[in-house]
Amino acid sequence: MASTAVHRRRLRRVPTALVVIGAVAALAAAITGAAVPLPALGFVSPGHWVYSTILRAAVHVDGATGSIDASVPVNAAADSQVVQGESSGYVVDSGKVTVFGKSDLNVDGTIAAPAGEVPLAIEGEGGPYLVYRHSGKVTRLGDQPVAIPVGGPLTDPVLTADGTMWLLRKDNGRVCELLPGASTVSTCPAQAPAGHQGALSLLSGKPNYVDTTQGTLYSLGENGFGPAIGLGGPTGPHLKAADTDVSGRLALLDPDTHTLRLVDPNAPSAAPVVVHLPEKGEFDGPTAGGSIVAVVDRSTNTVLTYDGQGKERDHEVMPKEAGKPRLTKGDDNRVYVEGDKGTHVMVVGDDGAVDDVPLDHAPDRPSTQDPGKKLGVPEKPDVPVETPDPPDRDVRSQEPPPTHEQHAPPATERHEPPPSHEPPVVSASPPGAPGGVSATAGSASATVRWSGASANGAAVTGYHVTWRSSVGGGSRDVDGGSRSVTVSGLRNGVRYTFSVTAQNDAGRGAAASASVTPVGAASAPQVSALYDGEEGTALVSWKQPALGGGTLVHYTIDATGMAQRTSTGTSMLYTDLPHNGQAVTFTVRAMTSSGGKTVTGAAGSYTWPGDHGSATNITITRGPKNCPDHPDEPTCAQMHVVMTGFAPNTRYAITPHSSNDGYDAGDDHETTDSSGSVTFDTFQYYGVGDEVWVTARYDGNTIESNHMTWTAS
């Protein structure tokens, strides 16, 4: 079935527009007598580049037609990968990367690979990228390849549409961002639980973390993980997630249970769609492309495809090749399954149909077969076309009819000047990306620095600085001699991404970016203290202040005449305060961290007033008749006590006294409010004619109330 489909695709007709373009190019060549290079890039449809060991070339497969439409001769190993950027292609071999132009299909040179392992190739905005997962390195290919150390081994990253790469460290569970154009990892906003395994996936184009240990899904953003969503079904260390969704569903391959689960994150309460795979299969994948997800059963060398509802769309046996097949995704969003030895590639169509494309024939569209030869106009197309039959004559052999204007000497008699030995004048192009872009946080501000961009034939006239965040953005232009700018009016605690581009007369160049979170010192905490005058203790407490965008490290607490203390909580108990009536001031500051620096916050304080003997007052009167301890005494009532002018928020010991020497009711303890006052009813008494009063003790001092004679009512 596969061979029939491919044969059918090869007989598809070239669009008339392409035929007209080819005819015009040929006619122009005939009239001018010059060979007109055919722009290969304009003829290469979206698809996928692979390496053919049969042709010893990188070949481009048009996924829509299942045909080979371009090739570039390159000597490389059989298992080499081919990845493409905006203007260049790259054949990734062990130890080296061969670069070729997509417009002229010529080899431009080679670059050394940063690691000896086989990388994961990722195409997309700002790329392509080669991810060396075991070595913990990411190489961004392009005009100026950059090797970026990550610091540890990685799982498979994901690349968003804006060119941000999200990375998951296998060794410590940190989830980090690599911004477009950045030469270092920008920030790591999320941390997976210790001991948990996981993967990254794009759902509706946004990054998510799949916790395969816990069986949960978390969205990712500037502030780390979002709410957890259950995935349903078993978990385990072998659970694999597709890097993108299939029709909005997360595809999970569980090789232990031989199932493919399709989870809808927008309906977490709904049961996932479960696809039962062959029980004895050994599976690779899943890889999603558009509305189709594909897996490979290595035990039978079969490609299986399913739609977002779990319906099987096709199953095709691959031609047998030694080694492990490679599932990739082309720039047309189709899934391609490459054979390990470079003789076949299986193309998964938009409808899930699988077709085999043998990599054993020359391009169906013209391309160079010599790395040093420009692509020329073909003598005739290799595919059938629908166009009126041209005259059976060689256009180049025809002489134009004579006219009255043909009096000039023939072109062959013109005297051309001798060839110049001066180098050709290269027209200016937009500048390169600025180097070393960094951003340093300030309080509600950030300073962005960079090194000069390459001029590329015209002086750099200015730099354009933009910034974006979840709360908005802005831009600023500076002259070509500037190497820094300070942006104020930012919001502390919000992450900003700054991008710098250079400008010359030819236009604006590529951007380089850096991110930072502005921070300021924490504000002053609101401090209070609960003082126990009798015991000489104080419980100092405070509320967490605004942290100015930093992360709390600890609080420092100072008390008059005592050593400084620290705490990560919001209270501190002092048990050794002086009993001499001396005022004590408690001072609390929040210490925060940002960018590896510790910032001291503003001070909040509270002073316990000390000796209040001259300002205090206690008044007692007969209170309510509430004597549960003496129900048979008709003259019993409680004492009503009013205390004013005392230290605020302070605990006092209250003792009743009587002219009856045998009276002993023990102590009561009361705490004043913020104004230093407290009113309460306590001490049941029934001795008519006795004199009664109370005292309050604090910090070694005693305050005595008025004396009153107890009456019957």
- Residues in CB range of 253: below 8 A, 6 or more apart: 239, 240, 241, 242, 259, 260, 283, 285, 286, 295
Residue 398 is predicted with a pLDDT of 41
Two tokens at 667?
């102590």
Name the nearest CA neighbour of 639 among 579, 680, 605.
680
Question: To which residue do tokens 């029934």 refer?
Answer: 686
Cα–Cα distance for residue pair 537/662, rounded to 1 Å: 32
My answer on whether omega of the bond before 128 falls inside 30° of 0, hence cis, is yes
CATH number belonging to the domain at 526-608, selected among 2.60.40.10, 1.10.3720.10, 1.10.1740.10, 1.20.200.10: 2.60.40.10
- φ/ψ bin of 127: left (φ > 0), alpha (ψ from -120 to 50), beta (otherwise): beta
- Say if strands 650-658 and 526-532 run parallel, antiparallel, or are unpaired: parallel
Residue 317 is predicted with a pLDDT of 87
- Report helix, strand or coil for 519: coil
- Residues in CB range of 306: below 8 A, 6 or more apart: 246, 260, 262, 275, 292, 293, 294, 312, 313, 352
Residue 408 is predicted with a pLDDT of 45
CB 201 within 8 A of CB 180: no
Cα–Cα distance for residue pair 378/373, rounded to 1 Å: 14
- Residues in CB range of 504: below 8 A, 6 or more apart: 428, 430, 431, 455, 456, 458, 459, 460, 461
Two tokens at 590?
């929040």
Residue 460 is predicted with a pLDDT of 93
Cα–Cα distance for residue pair 249/210, rounded to 1 Å: 13
Two tokens at 610?
């000390």
Burial 319-344 (b: 16+ CB within 10 A, else e): eebeeebbbbbbebebbbbbbebbbb
- Say if strands 335-338 and 326-329 run parallel, antiparallel, or are unpaired: antiparallel
Residue 691 is predicted with a pLDDT of 92
The string of pLDDT tens digits covering residues 346-392 is 899 888 898 888 887 767 544 444 433 333 333 333 333 333 344 44
The letter for the amino acid at 77 is A
Q: What is the pTM of this model?
A: 0.50
Ranges of residues in the chain with a pLDDT under 70 are 1-45, 322-323, 362, 364-427, 533-534, 578-581, 595-596, 609-615, 698-700
How many CB atoms are closer than 10 A to CB 393? 8
Residue 700 is predicted with a pLDDT of 65
CA 712: distance to chain centroid? Answer: 80
Cα–Cα distance for residue pair 308/413, rounded to 1 Å: 71
Two tokens at 73?
């001769």
- Give yes or no on whether 2-358 and 435-441+460-516 have one common fold: no
- Ramachandran angles phi, psi of 503, nearest 5°: -125, 135
CATH number belonging to the domain at 617-709, selected among 1.10.1660, 2.60.40, 1.10.3470, 3.30.160: 2.60.40
Which DSSP category does 117 fall into? S
Cα–Cα distance for residue pair 415/402, rounded to 1 Å: 24
Name the nearest CA neighbour of 555 among 586, 577, 578.
586
- Residues in CB range of 416: below 8 A, 6 or more apart: none
**2-358 under CATH 2.130.10.10, yes or no:** yes
- Report helix, strand or coil for 668: strand
My answer on whether omega of the bond before 265 falls inside 30° of 0, hence cis, is no
Residue 466 is predicted with a pLDDT of 95
**435-441+460-516 under CATH 2.60.40.10, yes or no:** yes
Residue 6 is predicted with a pLDDT of 38
Cα–Cα distance for residue pair 681/673, rounded to 1 Å: 16
Query: Which sequence spans correspond to the domains of the chain?
Result: 2-358, 435-441+460-516, 526-608, 617-709
Cα–Cα distance for residue pair 290/161, rounded to 1 Å: 15
